[in-house]
Chains A and B, each alone.
Chain A
Amino acid sequence: MATLAAVLATTHHPFYLKATTMPPEQQMPQAAEWKRKVEAYRETLTRAKPDILVMVGADHFHQFFLDNYPTFLIGKAPRYDATFYNEEREFGIPKYVLEGHEELSNFMHQGLMDRGFDFAFSHELKLDHSIICPIITTRPDADLPVVPIYTNIFAPPLPSPKRFWDLGRAIREIIDEFPSDKRIAAVGSGHLSLELGGPRQFKETGPDPEFDRKAIEWLSTGNIEEILANVTHESMAKSGNATHGFMDLILMMGIAGPIPTAYHDNLDLFHTMEAYFTWYPEGAAA
């Protein structure tokens, strides 16, 4: 059976690459610290020696729109283009081509269906920055095959926080059952408190530093009870209108289980708290 080598849950700040590669005299003051933290985080994935990455993200109206928006979707293609024109334009993110892993995609899809998660699927999927940002930060060589999973954290009605947790638990069972000697890492991205296109956007901190502090505490200690007792769609909206991306971090903890992280770190940037979590559920790389 496959080994779950690591689970990573990370915020995806689309400006990381631009902020840390522009000429030093134009860089923001935190650029060097940000780069140092990201590189230390990257090492937590490298150390796990993964062969395949299960990537969790959310399409930000790049391939999918309101005429047909999937609640949960799995990519089943042999390879994936990444980065749309408007992401290149706004964030300076380059284009990538990632290899897929059709065998694990098929096994995952069937396993999800068997567990009551009736996923939409795509055989021609172009990935957006919710998946490419964590590739840039945690696996910049982009040299591993991926199985992409998209969730709806973006276009209401959204699934509940509990549903994200349960989906993570299901993905974990399926990885554990995958008949392979490969080492699989799951890498997913989301947000802590975040405001976009509203009155609390681009302040000196994220819109709700108190939520950020609690969220980091809950995730780093594996405290799903507190998350499910405190986090609702309404509470997330009060923390910032785009905070619902937090549910993808809940999903990632669902893959790891209700256990403490082996590693976590965070960085207070203008307008958002960056946060990085890694679990080694099997003690695989601890």
Chain B
Amino acid sequence: MSKYYVNKFLFTVDRDPELLRRYKEDPRSLVASWEQSIGPRLNDAEISTVNSLTDAEREALVNHDYVALFEMGAHFFLSLTIFIAIYDEDYMAKLGPLSFQREFAEKLKHWNGKDYPSIALWQAAAR
């Protein structure tokens, strides 16, 4: 698994309005193009060949599955920020302020009182 690469997905998509729009409207297609042409980018000239998503990571990203992402140890700030960007406005209009954030918390309630999956990357690197 590559916790780093999942975080890289969340980081690069959240900071780009066009990628974010595509991630909201057609997540499967956006995840596929991200893996082809965005994820591997190290900078404008260089390509990195060392990372890839596992099937479980890909599915979690395609499904906007923030519970699975939390359980994989994706960084909480990246995950919260990107899904607020995708869902907050629609939830707000239907259910009022903070309704998305509270549903997000509710879906994770089985973690209350437990040690959360670590966001540290070195554990992910253990094979």
- Using CB atoms and an 8 Å cutoff, list the residues of chain A in contact with chain B: 60-62, 65-67, 84-86, 89-90, 154-157, 196-203, 237, 241-242, 270
Of the candidate stretches B9-17, B32-40, B55-63, the one touching chain A is B9-17
Partner pick for A201 among B15, B105, B118, CB 8 A cutoff: B105
Nearest A residue to B48 by beta-carbon distance? A67
Given contacts A65-B8, A90-B84, A270-B98, contact A196 B116 (CB under 8 A): no
A196: chain B residues within 8 A (beta carbon): 76-77, 80
Beta-carbon contact of A198 and B11 below 8 Å: no
Given that A66-B4, A66-B8, A90-B81 are contacting pairs, would A197 and B111 also be in contact in the complex, using a CB cutoff of 8 Å?
Answer: no
List the B side residues contacting A89 at CB < 8 Å: 17, 85
Chain B interface residues (CB < 8 Å from chain A)? 4, 7-8, 11, 14-15, 17, 42, 66, 70, 75-81, 84-85, 98, 101-102, 104-106, 108-112, 115-116, 118-121
Q: Which residues of A contact B105 (CB under 8 A)?
A: 198-203
CB distance from B78 to the nearest CB of A (A): 6
Are B120 and A157 in contact, CB atoms less than 8 angstroms apart? yes
Tell me if A90 and B8 are in contact (CB < 8 A): no
Once A86-B15, A156-B120 are accepted as A-B contacts, the answer to whether A199 and B108 lie under 8 Å apart by CB is yes
Q: How far is the CA of A27 from the CA of B113 in the complex (A)?
A: 33
Instruction: For the complex, give the distance between the alpha carbons of A242 and B118 in Å.
Output: 12
12 A–B pairs (Cβ distance < 8 Å), ordered by A: A61-B11, A65-B7, A66-B11, A67-B8, A86-B15, A86-B81, A86-B85, A89-B17, A155-B119, A196-B77, A197-B104, A237-B115
Q: Main SS of chain A's interface residues?
A: loop
Which of A156, A199, A201, A237 has the most CB atoms of chain B within a 10 A radius of its CB?
Answer: A199
Cβ-closest chain A residue relative to B12: A65
Question: What distance in Å separates the Cβ of A181 from its nearest Cβ neighbour in chain B?
Answer: 41
A198 touches B116 (CB 8 A): yes
Max chain A Cβ within 10 angstroms of own Cβ: one of B75, B109, B111: B75
> Of A65, A202, A237, which is within 8 A of B11 by CB?
A65
Q: Is the CB of B98 within 8 A of A202?
A: yes
- Residue picked from A86, A200, A242, most chain B C-beta under 10 Å: A86
Do B116 and A237 touch (CB < 8 A)? yes
Q: Bound state CA distance, A164 and B109, in angstroms?
A: 32
Across-interface contacts of A270 in B (CB, < 8 A): 98
Q: Which residue on A lies nearest to B100, using beta carbons?
A: A202
The 7 closest A-B pairs by CB, nearest first: A197-B76, A197-B80, A199-B108, A202-B101, A156-B120, A197-B79, A201-B105
Residues of B within 8 A of A198 (CB): 70, 76, 105, 108, 111, 116
For B97, give the chain A residue with the smallest CB separation: A28
| A127–chain B nearest beta-carbon distance, Å | 15
New A-B pairs, 7, CB < 8 Å, besides A90-B85, A196-B80, A202-B98: A66-B121, A196-B76, A198-B111, A198-B116, A200-B112, A201-B104, A241-B76
Query: How distant is the Cα of A10 from the Cα of B85 in the complex, in angstroms?
Result: 26
CB–CB A154/B77 < 8 A = yes
